[in-house]
């Protein structure tokens, strides 16, 4: 059976309430796609870390694209959160967590902001078969 693509798009302001809303939507979509509890939590946390504005289902992948209009970032200057001097710090783990939880993390900094693409391969009942409901 051929898979059809789905795209759900949200534009959010930068507030805690809308970030919570994006996390809840990610949880619902990941659950409907058949991910296990641990993976649902990981996807939701990755979305929360990135302040999401787009979800897309392409074939057997859940693709989450986040764009911001901030000053961008220099990825070479992000410290390793596992380095001994950083272990007790309470910040600086977002990108590390996203890379740990997702199958693919692409970060494209630019002068107008940053685009973050998070990809998790769908496996389970929705992979290659029944589509998740909206």
Domain count, the chain: 1
Distance CA 93, CA 81 (A): 6
* pLDDT for residue 33 is more than 70: yes
Tell me the β-bridge partners of 61: 58, 121
pLDDT band at 13 (very low <50, low <70, confident <90, very high): low
Average pLDDT over residues 55-68: 78
The reply to whether 54 falls in a domain is yes
**For position 14, what pLDDT does the model report?**
59
Domain that holds residue 113: 6-121
- What does DSSP assign to residue 102? S
Confirm whether 55 is domain-assigned.
yes
When pLDDT is cut at 50, 70 and 90, the band that residue 12 belongs to is low
Q: Provide the whole-model pTM.
A: 0.58
CATH no. for residue 12?
Answer: 3.30.565.10
In this prediction, residue 36 carries a pLDDT of 94
Q: Would you state the pLDDT for residue 10?
A: 67
Sign of CA dihedral 99, 107, 44, 56: negative
Give the pLDDT confidence score for residue 89 in this predicted structure. 85
| 111 in any annotated domain | yes
pLDDT over threshold 60, residue 79: yes
Whether residue 106 lies inside any domain: the answer is yes
* In a domain? residue 131: no
């Amino acid at each position: 059976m051929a898979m059809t693509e789905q795209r759900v798009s949200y534009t959010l302001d930068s507030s805690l309430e809308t970030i919570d809303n994006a996390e809840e939507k990610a949880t619902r979509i990941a659950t409907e796609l058949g991910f296990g509890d641990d993976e649902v939590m990981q996807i939701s946390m990755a979305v929360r870390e990135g302040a999401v504005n787009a979800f897309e289902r392409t074939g057997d992948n859940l693709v989450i694209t986040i764009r911001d209009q901030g000053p961008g970032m220099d990825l070479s200057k992000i410290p390793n959160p596992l380095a001994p001097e950083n272990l007790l710090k309470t910040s600086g783990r977002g990108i590390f967590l996203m890379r740990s939880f997702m199958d693919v993390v692409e970060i494209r900094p630019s002068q107008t902001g940053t685009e973050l693409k998070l990809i998790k391969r769908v496996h389970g009942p929705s992979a290659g078969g029944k589509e998740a409901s909206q």
